[in-house]
Structure 1
Amino acid sequence: MPELVTPQGNYDISAILFDKDGTLLDFVSLWGSWSECLLTHFIRQLKLRGLTFPETYLNNLLGTVHNSEGRITGYDRNGPLAMGTMNDLYAILGWQGYLLGLSWAESMELVEACRREADAMLEHSRPVLPLPGLLRFLEECYAQGIALAVVTADDTEAAERHLRWLGIRHYFSAVIGTDQVERGKPFPDMSLLACRQLGVQPSAAAVIGDTNGDMRMAKAAGAAVAVSIAPDAGAAVPGDSSAKALLDHLLPDADAVVQSYEELAFQ
């Protein structure tokens, strides 16, 4: 059985389950673009109805970080955009419309129209970028004969599309979206289903993700190791960019934290 080498220890594994957003592809490039489009249309449509969205709520609404020009430059790893399902996000927006005076039906119709705009923008621009070192690491996994799967809070159809945009769909024997299970992250359902489809025991699988929800899912499933990719570790823990500080602050359930795939290897 191949041995996954991390800065915090080595683990015997025969499979790896990857989160998608923030783990395989750059989170802000894809979901920052989508969220900006979604929120811009939502706020614009509210104004057309004589309603004003309190823009001071923007950072807290979906868990995004905005610069002085309103562009999304970062995200809360433990916030709704990073950890929630698509339906969670739509419900959050729908609630805002309801609070401002729309009926729930009107608000959800508005959210659906804004979603279509944001999805169309993604389909046109396809702003997907692989994380540094990912392609090399996937090739090494292939050379080692390690079974690979994706377990994502996104819907399966969208996940499949994003993997094709990146040109990496062929590496994965299974793609599990939250629509395939009763409970999403941090519950173990997606990991357990992926392991069944790969034909491996959870105790022989590593989970790689970027949020503590991924780590908690790994623990609940009995995975061999929970590894977090945290390229912005220094920004996440002001004044201390050590893996220990990140573990304690944002990823308390991770067994290993790395800033790039260059820190992972096999022996």
Structure 2
Amino acid sequence: MGGKSLWIGDTKVEAKAVGFDKDGTLFDAVAFWVYIDTLRKQQFLNLAGEEHEEQWEKLMGIRGAGEVDHNGVLAVATTLEEIILTAGAFYQLKGWPWTECKAKAESVFRLADENTMLDQAFQAKEGASEVIRSLLDEGIRTGILTSDKWTRAEQCMDLLGVKERLDFLITPEQVEKGKPSPDMVFKACEQLGISPHELVVVGDSVVDMKMAKTAGSIAVGIVTYDGSREVLSEDADFLIDSLLEIRTSS
């Protein structure tokens, strides 16, 4: 099967598939980060002590009320990486045995997830569902490449109403290394039977762009905050300000 035509901004490209990052690309990142961090922080403080709130915020990259470092741990790290860092914080602050630190860190994230109300945590960005549907309608294989875990990623796709139609959903559980390693791209391409250069990767972070470029895919960066255009431009082939700039016709 040959490549399909799609438009990225004013440029026509040929591709067989499009892989979207989830948080920050299809859903508002800051709203989710603030929501989930509030739940995790409380679980952490329940164990470490309320006096360690500042240490938690420094660890996760919280700079103030609702202000998140877009290149920090909360924004970029995988859940597994966050758990290991949290275990390290427990070890540093409390001096518990390492195995106990890891178990307590895992409980922080598990309990936060159990208390998450998805419809409150995830706010779809303009055009998210529509763009995915339009690509699928035109025969362009479409899916998700996310650092989030499989279960929540599936639930988020349910919120968009596209879960049953997606061609692939790749999370860190399925690969040896997460972003910015190209493993997730390679996994998706293996499932689809295509080459990496036939895949467009759409994301809002440096790790998305580096993953795409290392794999040899087309990197599309979506500008989401002041300064992100400059941050993404080093590795992005295209920069867009809205998902609606990805179209199947001119």
- Where does the alignment leave 5 or more consecutive residues of structure 1 unmatched? 68-72, 238-245
CA distance in 2, matches of 1:59, 1:11: 42
Question: Is the aligned partner of 1:201 residue 2:195?
Answer: yes
CA distance in 2, matches of 1:171, 1:107: 41
Deviation of residue 109 (structure 1)? Answer: 2.8
3-state SS of paired residue (1:206) = strand
Cα pair 1:126 1:165 within 8 Å, conserved = no
CA distance in 1, matches of 2:104, 2:214: 37
CA distance in 2, matches of 1:25, 1:252: 24
**Which residue of the other structure, out of 238, 245, 250, is the alignment partner of 1:263?**
245
What letter corresponds to residue 29 of structure 1 in structure 2?
A
Cα pair 2:61 2:73 within 8 Å, conserved = yes
CA distance in 2, matches of 1:168, 1:139: 7
Cα pair 1:153 1:185 within 8 Å, conserved = yes
Question: Is the aligned partner of 1:43 residue 2:42?
Answer: no
CA distance in 1, matches of 2:118, 2:193: 37
What's the counterpart of residue 70 of structure 1?
A: none
CA distance in 1, matches of 2:10, 2:62: 30
CA distance in 2, matches of 1:148, 1:100: 45
Deviation of residue 112 (structure 1)? Answer: 2.4
3-state SS of paired residue (1:119) = helix
**Which residue of the other structure, out of 135, 138, 151, is the alignment partner of 2:132?**
138
What TM-score do you get using the length of structure 1 for normalisation?
0.83
Cα pair 1:155 1:178 within 8 Å, conserved = yes
What TM-score do you get using the length of structure 2 for normalisation?
0.88
Identical counterparts, % of pairs: 30
CA distance in 1, matches of 2:199, 2:232: 23
- Where does the alignment leave 5 or more consecutive residues of structure 2 unmatched? none
CA distance in 2, matches of 1:17, 1:53: 39
Equivalences for 1:1-267 in 2 at 5 Å?
Answer: 1-7=3-9, 9-47=11-49, 52-53=51-52, 55=54, 57-67=55-65, 73-103=66-96, 104-123=98-117, 126-223=120-217, 225-232=218-225, 236-237=226-227, 246-267=228-249
3-state SS of paired residue (1:52) = helix
Cα pair 2:221 2:232 within 8 Å, conserved = no
Deviation of residue 8 (structure 1)? Answer: 6.6
